[in-house]
Structure 1
């Protein structure tokens, strides 16, 4: 072979892709809102990078979607912004497949293919119009996928069109000849509303203004104030409905704020603006792609985690943002802990009422330096930066103190660890920041109030409504604790200590069922009988109801919107008043009502009426009857009062009690007892273990084997780790064996040592242990509990709740 042959120039392979590539991009699974988000990102990037922009006019983006009923051939999607617009060169680069003018950090649009994927997903033809302030024309480019494929060329025509206002600027992207699946999806009813809601979540930070969330002072929630519209209607940012950062609860002697701020500086690093790789030391070139486009950038983890004003089965979790856009929304994987030794993943939150009510920890964490997937629907979870962020937010070890201690981890003091431990309980009252009424948590009512918050009703804009209900629960608990029963001897005589001589014995059963009598029944009767009849003759109805209300407190769990039959909604407010009530004929009655303006109904119940005090009736039941009578009359329906009352009752879900809810509540209470017992009893673990009957020892070991198989059981009986596995009967056995350890505000507030009479002490022990055994029998009955069983269990749980000591937290 000659040397000339050897020096022949090598052949060139043309690897220009087929225009079919752009059509294939349309097969990548993108939801309609994701397609729109890719185009919105480009507009918001322009707003964010415009240092000369007017702060009073931060930028608008208008989205036009096909309307229901529009002809198929006329259906199109348009995304228009009033950004700075593009030059010819900028436009050409922006439309080029695979090219991105953005650096890999500091921008929403990151990968260069987002525009092509989004438009190809939507339709066959895309027209881009752009102009800058001062330009005399629009630059107009049309990308026609079928024609490009037919011509086998990526070249697209560019034309110029005159514009009326030289000062106008911005970009419009219009996609026509929509794909059949997208056209059908976008033309469905309510789709525009659904997309607005989704975009309001994803762009919440960028859309809200700096004062949108007063519950968190400072800048961690300050937004950018961008404006986004879908079919002419503004997209409202979905604001967090959280307790104020000034609200606190006490945990282990410290005040834990309801909002935990996060502001953590990481070591600056060199970021490759082409491939996104981070370098901890200064390189000459990127070690991944060889690019010299490197930038030393700050890296920070900022944001907050806090407590929502309501619990929800799905509406909780932490949002993670990159450059202002939410990549993960309501992420709950953050509440899982993976054991590094076994690889086992454990869901740690929510624990209490998790199956029926859900959780309430929420947050927003900005991770501008952490890489994301190309679809921008997740972070790269195997990256070192993501792992570092997760450990900062939720800690390295378990958030559950007992689990952490058993696995030899230090107590979890991360932001989520603090919130978990301080707010894990859902008892009504300010101690846990849970609204309540009459000893019950108002979970459904709190969620209803949250819907009013989302609607922008001023009354629900702050957490005051929720806090007032929590304070009311505190007052109820205080009143109940003052009614603790006095022990009685076997002969029925009271056992009173010094200073209580002459007081009337009070039955525990009467206290729990509301049938306790006043010392002087005649006084109550006299007060009713002495009600001045002359007052009725001169007092107007308005004055009378004003008097009722002046001496009343609202029953929040029975207030809300109610509708029956063909009657529109009526807003019901129920009041518990101490004033004797009279009906239209002037006779004393336990309950009255009146209709007001604006479809409102006020119902007043006098809980001091004899039917409640002496016959054990529930004031709420009478309120339901009164509401039913009013609505039945307004609706002019022939339905019976009983049927209407039943329909009304079902519209107050906080009033229901089912086998599942009673079991969950019982489990929650027992777990609290076990937690407190473990704290108090661990130093005496061998003594307590030896005091258990053999059957309870076997039951505890069997439970431990099924839930903690790695537990060393012999060691657990010496350390106290057996206590979380005790049955209710086992706890009752310990109460009988060692009241000196468990009573007197140790595990239970029940007094024992303060009584001198042995029979009085025995009565306290017997009553408390019986309550625990009733709970055990209820949980053991898996064949189904009757309505009477459920009612008895509710009373038992109410009683045991009042007997529990305040946790030593």
Structure 2
């Protein structure tokens, strides 16, 4: 038997097999949403835009046999030919360059993954009915044919238009999944993230609804783009660095889905090849989140308005050596990051599951070079490898903001745009995402930054903790050149009740708001919350009882807003065991106790309530062994890393050679263990001390004090001490060094312990050692 051609129509079982591809439920829904969005986009291009475009999703809430899923839009609708092609396996009516839809398989994979029967109905404005078809996988397999009859259903409004996809006979595992409300919330969060650019778009803002609830776009919580710091080259680096690159056009074959340079001929030279020229543009931004997090950071990479890779962290890795090396985050002891951004990469291929850009596409490497730069992000390493300073946006962001806390005892939080109390920053971010109008700008975060800066320079009595009275500061701990003038009007003043003097006039008290303590306090278990506005006041404040260190008074009964007024100079705060935070929590615990005592006397236990409040808000005073050890290790690593700005590769090699041989060997082993190819690059960059044992860091400081004092890391004068007599100068310097060496010894002791060791130690010994670390470091939080 001979034939001129072969019939390669796939077996109907192919559709069922497509349903075995493991695609998350939200991705299945996204495939169908993409088709709707494409319809809106095409209508806009044809200059017949859809008014108030919307996509409505209905999911089952119970595990029932008749459970179904529907996705309906109000797009322009389809012709019979378009409907047939839209559901045909392997066919795509979309231009894969300009649309979200990529392959005809997407629809089939998504629907077959969820259920055994799919119905599609569509109608255009002016049509008399809805036209549809039914794909029954079991029936198709039985009859071994793809033929399916045309269906119709009544249309009550001739002006209506749109498409509805309904999935029936859901698979058993899918019914169980969708019956759980938590999974609905998970899907909402995923869709809010991946469609955020489109939902927020001015050109195509459509509404997305799931079970009668609108999905709000997940907006980035970044610092104000106008905030900036000066980089080493004297140019400003903004908290949000935008970029927009016009790239050379390329040819693209719509049939083969290939892009190429050169003549208008597809590399496959097929008879059905359709060649078009595509204009290419790479745009977006990279910037700073208002908080740091172990996972919640990274750059969204977007294709045609739809996020393909969520919070990508590949651009934080240097791949130029034999083994990839993570470059960010590396300065945070808990590996928390805050770099975020959006990269619109419309002209790069993506996987068929739409969750990854193809790395072998030349457009990917081109994007990495433009956004990240050619060499390492670490400047000393880049210099050692022969790379010139970059102008790439991520490179510049890294140079200014790689650290999540300031370096050095006199470092400013405003210079790195970071909030010291990160838990508080995260709480405020939750209010930002909930749409609280008071938290839409970054002012609340910056108030905390300014407050910490004032504490650093001693302008307010907050040096040892939130609102604590300042202890005696050792000579030289404050850098006089950097001390800011005492703040005036740094917080809103709350006028007291009229307090007349002999002449009948009233004098408004001087009150400075303390943002660190001003917040909403919630008991972690009980349904009790308080809004507190905290102010530092003087002893003669009319609302502060005579000789009292503080008072908590109701300001607005309607909103349960309380004023907490405290005198930071009161003797009670000259105590290791009493801070204004302790006072606030004691007051709130007492009010909660009084409330419960009336409602349920048996359950009102003041000690338990206070303990709960302290567990939630008094992190600074916790003697948590793991936290203390990490705190000490971080302080020593920060000291070690400060030498990488102290000289050039020649000096660093000399310093490394002066280390004991045993210390050099330990450093080389540590560098090898973390996967860095070659220790010499680390030595040349001056970062070798960060890989040393903590005891070796202490000895290095003792051997090279000039690298750390006089404003290098600590503002404490050392080399600059001058008393007119060489012997006196040397004795004064030795006293300074002995004092700091004792702090370092405590830090080394803590960093070398295990949590079990600290559990067995004397409490006062741990407190003393922890205070030594606070005196050494730049971040007082554990």
Shorter chain as denominator, the TM-score bin is 0.7 to 0.9
Farther off after superposition, 787-796 or 82-91: 787-796
Taking structure 1 as the reference length, the TM-score comes to 0.82
* 2:421 match: 442
* 1:592 match: 551
**Structure 2 counterpart of 1:280, from 261, 269, 288:** 261
How do 1:197-346 and structure 2 match up within 5 A? Answer: 197-210=189-202, 224-252=204-232, 253-287=234-268, 291-340=272-321, 342=322, 344-346=323-325
Query: Structure 2 unaligned runs (5+)?
Result: 407-412, 464-470, 479-497
Q: Deviations over 1:385-428 (max 9, x none)?
A: 21221232222322122333344433454322222221122226
Farther off after superposition, 368-377 or 788-797: 788-797
How do 1:211-610 and structure 2 match up within 5 A? Answer: 224-252=204-232, 253-287=234-268, 291-340=272-321, 342=322, 344-353=323-332, 355=334, 358-427=336-405, 429-435=413-419, 441-479=420-458, 508=474, 551-557=511-517, 559-563=519-523, 566-579=526-539, 588-595=547-554, 596-610=557-571
CA separation of 1:473 and 1:666: change in aligned 2, threshold 3 A: same
Give the Cα separation in 2 of the matches to 1:641 and 1:233.
42
* 2:187 match: 195
Name the SS of the counterpart of 1:72 in structure 2: coil
CA separation of 1:311 and 1:738: change in aligned 2, threshold 3 A: closer
Task: Please tell me whether residue 627 in structure 1 is matched to residue 588 in structure 2.
Answer: yes
* 1:675 match: 641
Give the Cα separation in 1 of the matches to 2:444 and 2:455.
17
* Contact 1:603 1:626 (C-alpha < 8 Å) held by counterparts: no
Q: Deviations over 1:663-702 (max 9, x none)?
A: 434344333333332432556557756876x4xx522432
Kindly name which structure, 1 or 2, has the bigger radius of gyration based on alpha carbons: 1
Give the Cα separation in 2 of the matches to 1:360 and 1:41.
30
* Contact 1:750 1:803 (C-alpha < 8 Å) held by counterparts: no
* 2:749 match: 777
Query: What displacement does 1:199 show?
Result: 0.6
* 1:792 match: 768
Name the SS of the counterpart of 1:268 in structure 2: strand
Query: What displacement does 1:536 show?
Result: 11
CA separation of 1:161 and 1:619: change in aligned 2, threshold 3 A: closer
Give the Cα separation in 1 of the matches to 2:657 and 2:434.
59
Query: What displacement does 1:234 show?
Result: 0.8
CA separation of 1:702 and 1:614: change in aligned 2, threshold 3 A: closer
Query: What displacement does 1:16 show?
Result: 2.1
Give the Cα separation in 2 of the matches to 1:324 and 1:39.
16
Query: What displacement does 1:480 show?
Result: 7.0
* Contact 2:32 2:71 (C-alpha < 8 Å) held by counterparts: yes
Query: What displacement does 1:766 show?
Result: 2.4
Name the SS of the counterpart of 2:416 in structure 1: coil
Query: Structure 1 unaligned runs (5+)?
Result: 1-7, 211-222, 436-440, 485-504, 513-533, 805-809
* Contact 1:285 1:291 (C-alpha < 8 Å) held by counterparts: no
**Structure 2 counterpart of 1:47, from 40, 43, 59:** 40
* 2:665 match: 701
Name the SS of the counterpart of 1:556 in structure 2: coil
Q: Which aligned segments of 4 or more residues in structure 1 are displaced greater than 6 angstroms?
A: 480-484, 534-538, 581-584, 709-719
Query: What displacement does 1:41 show?
Result: 0.6
Aligned CA-pair RMSD: 3.5
* Contact 1:625 1:645 (C-alpha < 8 Å) held by counterparts: yes
* 1:59 match: 53
Give the Cα separation in 2 of the matches to 1:366 and 1:61.
23
Query: What displacement does 1:463 show?
Result: 0.8
**Structure 2 counterpart of 1:745, from 702, 707, 711:** 711
Highest RCO, 1 vs 2 (Cα 8 Å, sep ≥ 6): 2
Query: What displacement does 1:433 show?
Result: 0.8
- Number of matched residues? 725
* Contact 1:567 1:635 (C-alpha < 8 Å) held by counterparts: no
